Every structure is written in structure tokens, then in C-alpha cells.
Structure 1
């Protein structure tokens, strides 16, 4: 379900053959083995790790089948956030209260953030994936779509194997190679694995304290600012300069307040923030603080990141967002048509996939401003028709 699933490290260690992919699968594996030995891994360990490796067609199918990200925020968030997930989150918060207290003390990360990750990734550990992790990583590295992401993870898995923490034939997880309750890639486990329960091992598949503490360390490593918020629902006036909105357009909270933005409940912190309008100026509205950017090191999908961040606030006590009355959005086919038109006008919208990603949002906002429409980055039939 994830676009780039699980916790993905921001910095991947370099490989001299980073760009290699494709070709015959057996020859590709031979190259991996040679490179692993060059990196200093024991030859017998390398041979044992790759023995029986297979290309997994189901992994590639999963990588291509991510149409759920075409859904708008309201539909997507309502699909992922159920009352059962809220109730179980509260139950898990009580059960592991001491662990969350330690995380909040050591890393300054709210329990709502970790609970939301835990819920969305594996339903609190219940569904961790049954794909062979070694085969998944090698399959995705061989595929030429994103080899720079997955190839280094193979050598990290070899290192875990040499340490006795990875079984190439039995270790399973998500289709994109993540392992455990909060779905971490092998390199992330090496860098951020924590023995949270004190048994001398890092067991992300079976130990909730290990998984939660490791996830917290990962977020800290990615730049999470201790004790700071990440997202807050706000209200906005009926009219303002909507072109100021969008991720990556921070202004001081005092500037936003001068424009009529106010907290729906509570007060606004003295931090820079971007105004987020996931479905235009008539839909839900949020202020995103610096910690919100850390979510994009975990997943590249805007709608997924916003939903996870919002769910974290709900589990931390926030009220249900005001859905408002947003303008009717576009169908998947219409979105692809819009992306093609924007691309023809010189905008970089990435792949024509019907997903309202960052590039498409920026292009939509620019064309709305040019045409005298509310520049809120929410594509409508009116915009499509005018183009």
C-alpha cells in the first residue's frame, strides 16, 4: 500500500556499482556477490546469503499497484483511520506506557507519532508481511525503477546475516524489504536498532519495545526536533492569498495570524509553519511545523504522510478534523489528462499516474494563479476545462 514504504534512511551508503540494474537475473546476482566480497564480506557468508535467491514477480506487482494514493485526503484518511485503530492505539498506549514515557524523555517524540506509524505499517504488529526479504530486495534492486534505494539495502542485509540477525531463507516482511512492527529496512536496522526490552537482542518482529524504541531513534536520526509539534488543525478566513499555501512555504505563526489563521483549538506555537490545504481552501486546513518534513523521509506520498501525521495528532488527543465542503475533485483519468496538459506546458509533474503529488500540486497552483482562480493547488474540472 505504501508508495515508498516503511522507514527509509535519508542517507544510503555509497556503492561503486550503484547504477547497475537489469540484464539477466543470474548475472546480476553474480555481480552482487562479487561486489559484496569487494566490500569486505566473507566469501562463504556471501555465498550462503545468496544461495537459492529468486526473483519475485509478486514484489514487482505490488510495487506497481499503488492506485490507493489517487484518493483525496478525506477519503484516504477515513479509509485508514478506523475507530478500531483508535481504540487499539489507546490500548497499546496504556500497555506500553513505560516504553512511550522513555521515548518521550529520551527523544522528545510524542507517543501519538509512534502509535500512528505502528498502526498504519502493521496494524500494531498483526500483519508484518510474508514476502521473503532477501528476494524482495534483490528483485527491486534488479528492477531499474529505483536501484539506488534497494541495492545498498542488500549489503546491509548481508551484514545483518553475518551478525546472526537475518536468515536469508526465513526472514520475511513487506514487499519493499522492510522488517518488523514499524517496518524498517536493513540499513536502518543497523544504524538505529535498539534493544528496548533489555534482552540483549534487537527483535523488531517480536518485541514491541525494540520496534518502538528503534522507530524513535530512526526519527531522531532523520531530524525530529524534540518536544515540538508536527501538525495542527487551523481555521482560515473565507478569502486570502491562497498561493501562500503549500508544503515547503513556511512563514512565522505571527504572519499567519495576521492573515487571519487561527488554531481550531488551543494555541499556536512560536514556530515557522506551512499552510496545508489538502483539498483546497474549502476543505480541511492544517499548519505543518518543521517536524512534518521528517515524515517525507519515511514516505514520499503527500496524502499518506498527511494522514499519518494527522492520525498522530488524533492519538495524542486532537479532535476530528473539520472536513468543510471542498470542491469536487478529478477522477483518476481526469488527473492523468490534467498532468499531461501541465507537462505539455513545461511543468515537471513526474510520472503521469493520476496521483496529486508535489510536482502536480505546484503546477496546478501556478496555473490557477495565472488563470485568476483560487491558487490553492486543488485541481478541479474548472481548471481542467480552462486548460
Structure 2
């Protein structure tokens, strides 16, 4: 107990220190970063060259604030991201790099559909990897006080890559949040999980699909991927059941879900613990989410992105298109923000009021539905908003 308290206090003091150093003069912030880099053991000349060209990037901040696509419900979001062309190209890539995927499955236990889906969504199979200057983006986001604890360490990881000759302060580009390469990995992840998949003696995630895919497989393994296990399976649900048992907070053995009337649309249920996932409530698509599904949240925090990426992985391996059902109408962005404010007023932790139906908002919705005697399927409707 004493150790846990000490670690918690240390983490809190570290976050406080980071918050105190963000904001203010950008040039002053950069000087502080340079001093810290030298204190970490990097030579002053190297540090000066690394930071010489750095600039604050307003476009990065604009991109960080404008993520409205995640406000879309699962059916709309998934149909936007999953096209027949993406399916066809994905299956073609699976054939082209069959040997690489076999190596990944043997070494890391990550199924090819999983990585193909990330490859598709992150960069359209490498065709567009982002045109943001990576160093400018990372330092801009570290200076910004919204999430300095996430981006500040990535600046120093980029410095380490620069020291190794694997990063250019002026030429390395990628996504607005600092991710690099075909499957979009942050500098610290590249250091920890970068793999030379094509055997040329280098780790190049921008031009080598083998390097990018092997590195992505290693990272998922590092994040806790369970070798050879499924991640998501579409199911049908009975017309009536205790909907409060749905959601990621409840886990049952698949056999127990079967006794409650949950059936696979294809194949058999795995002999594993699972959660019943209803992205748009009891009248929409339904899935069993196995333990590997939770690893997706280590890659991306957006519920709708995670659900779509996981589903797309199953499609690329031959699963049928999901049954969209007939979900009840949901809430528009302004209504969702109104709902989040009402939930916060009732003491629920919904995170930021952003109009996005994330995991915290879903959990709060489900609790209020249960309290009000509504079907507690975690899908917010105008009826719930009116009752609140």
C-alpha cells in the first residue's frame, strides 16, 4: 500500500510539473526543453541542431481541436471508412505480403486482418502518411496545455531517433499528432517496437511495408495482444434481455451469453470471456468483444474508431457485412453536449464535454437509463435527454 501511494504521489507531482512548464512563451518553452535534454545527457551541439528549426504549428492545434468525425454513430462512421475498394485492396495486400503476415502471426500472434485494418485506416495502405512536420507537431502539442504529459516524452524520443540517424527535424513528416509511417507510430513506440522486417538493416516505417507491419505486430503484442485469439464476433441478441449487462464493464463467458440467447451470426462462439457490445443500442448491430478487443484502446482511445477497426479486421478475413438493424434515432452533436452536461451535473464522469459518445459517456448513459427504468443499452436517445 505504501509503495502504491508513493507511486501515485510521484505521478501526480510529475503531471503537476509538466503542467507548470506548458504554455507561456513558445521560445522560452523550447529553451526549457533544450536544457532538459542536456540534463538527460544529450550533448549541447546535438540538442541545438535538433531544435534549431522548430516552429509552433497552428495547423496542428486546429487539427487537434477538430475531430468531429468521431461524433458520428458506429453505422455511419464504419460505412464512411469501409469501402469495397478498401476491402479489395486489403485482400490484395494480404496476398502480396503473405509471408510477412505469416511471420507476424507466428511470432506475435496478431492476425493479418487486424494490421490490415490499421494500415487502411491510418494511411490508406501507405498512400498518405501525413504532411505535418513531426517535430513541429510534437513540440507544439507538448507546449499546449491540453495533453503535455503525452507529447513531451515523444519530443525526447524523437531526439533519441535523431541521435541514431533515424529522424530529421526538417524532413520527417507524418500525422498531426506526431505519428510516423504506414501504421502511424509515435517516436517512443518506434524505439521500443521498431522491427527491421525486410532485412536491410534499417527500420523504415515510411517506405517498407514489411518494417511497418512487423513493428505494428510487435507493438500490439507489447500492448497485451493474446496470441491467436479472436477480438470481435458479430452476434444476434434476443428481443428482450437485461440490457444493463451489455457494455465493456460486464464480462461473461461466451457460453453464459449463449444461455442468455446470444448467438453467433457465423461460426461458433469462442471459449473465452467476452462483453456484449451494442454500438447503437439493442436495435442496432451487436458483437461479442473478446479480451483482445480491449488492446485496441491502447492504440486509439475513440470508441467508434476502435469498434470500426476491429470489425473491419473481421471483414478482411471473410466475415459477412454486419446486420445494421434498425437503431433508434440518436443525438446530434449539440444534443450530445447537452446530454453530457446533464450527466456531469448528476455526478457522472463523462470526461470532456465534446459531443462524442465515448466509453465514459456510454457508462453514464447506461446508469441513468437503469435508474429511469429505460432499456439500459447505453445508447442515448432524445427520450433519455428529455427525461433528464
Structure 1 counterpart of 2:18: 18
Question: For residues 330-369 of structure 1, what are the structure 2 equivalents within 5 Å?
Answer: 330-369=331-370
Cα shift readout 1:153-190 (whole Å, capped 9, x = no counterpart) = 00000000000000101000000000000000000000
Distance 1:280 1:372 in 2: 15
Distance 1:352 1:108 in 2: 38
Structure 2 counterpart of 1:33: 34
Unaligned runs of 5+ in 2: 1-10
**How far apart are 1:112 and its partner, in Å?**
0.2
**2:166 pairs with 1:131:** no
Cα shift readout 1:178-215 (whole Å, capped 9, x = no counterpart) = 00000000000000000000000000000000000000
**How far apart are 1:384 and its partner, in Å?**
0.9
Structure 2 counterpart of 1:8: none
SS at match of 2:343: helix
Task: Tell me: CA distance 1:17–1:187, structure 2 relative to 1, closer, same or farther (3 Å).
Answer: farther
Structure 2 counterpart of 1:315: 316
Structure 2 counterpart of 1:243: 244
Cα shift readout 1:69-120 (whole Å, capped 9, x = no counterpart) = 1100000000000011000001101111110111111111110000000000
Structure 1 counterpart of 2:97: 96
Structure 1 counterpart of 2:304: 303
Distance 1:44 1:314 in 2: 51
Structure 2 counterpart of 1:185: 186
Indicate conservation of the 8 Å contact 2:61/2:141, yes or no.
yes
Structure 2 counterpart of 1:200: 201
Cα shift readout 1:228-275 (whole Å, capped 9, x = no counterpart) = 000000111100000000013211112111111111110001100000
Distance 1:230 1:189 in 2: 24
Question: For residues 137-216 of structure 1, what are the structure 2 equivalents within 5 Å?
Answer: 137-216=138-217
Structure 2 counterpart of 1:5: none
Distance 2:120 2:147 in 1: 26
Indicate conservation of the 8 Å contact 1:15/1:152, yes or no.
no
Distance 2:82 2:368 in 1: 33
**How far apart are 1:16 and its partner, in Å?**
10
**How far apart are 1:15 and its partner, in Å?**
9.3
What TM-score do the two structures reach when normalised by structure 1?
Answer: 0.95
Task: Tell me: CA distance 1:240–1:136, structure 2 relative to 1, closer, same or farther (3 Å).
Answer: same
Distance 1:73 1:217 in 2: 28
Structure 1 counterpart of 2:45: 44
Q: What RMSD, in angstroms, separates the aligned Cα atoms of the two structures?
A: 1.3
The runs of 4+ residues in structure 1 deviating greater than 6 Å are none
Task: Tell me: CA distance 1:15–1:275, structure 2 relative to 1, closer, same or farther (3 Å).
Answer: closer
Which range moves more in the overlay, 254-263 or 167-176? 254-263
Distance 1:15 1:159 in 2: 22
Distance 2:370 2:343 in 1: 14
Distance 2:361 2:103 in 1: 41
Question: For residues 49-64 of structure 1, what are the structure 2 equivalents within 5 Å?
Answer: 49-64=50-65
Question: For residues 255-266 of structure 1, what are the structure 2 equivalents within 5 Å?
Answer: 255-266=256-267
Structure 2 counterpart of 1:6: none
What TM-score do the two structures reach when normalised by structure 2?
Answer: 0.95
**2:218 pairs with 1:225:** no
Distance 1:108 1:360 in 2: 33
Distance 1:44 1:128 in 2: 31
Question: For residues 267-282 of structure 1, what are the structure 2 equivalents within 5 Å?
Answer: 267-282=268-283
Distance 2:77 2:164 in 1: 40
Indicate conservation of the 8 Å contact 1:275/1:286, yes or no.
yes
Higher RCO (CA < 8 A, seq sep 6+): 1
Indicate conservation of the 8 Å contact 2:253/2:274, yes or no.
yes
Distance 2:202 2:194 in 1: 9
Indicate conservation of the 8 Å contact 2:53/2:169, yes or no.
no
**How far apart are 1:347 and its partner, in Å?**
1.0
Structure 2 counterpart of 1:3: none
Distance 1:252 1:32 in 2: 49
**How far apart are 1:316 and its partner, in Å?**
1.1
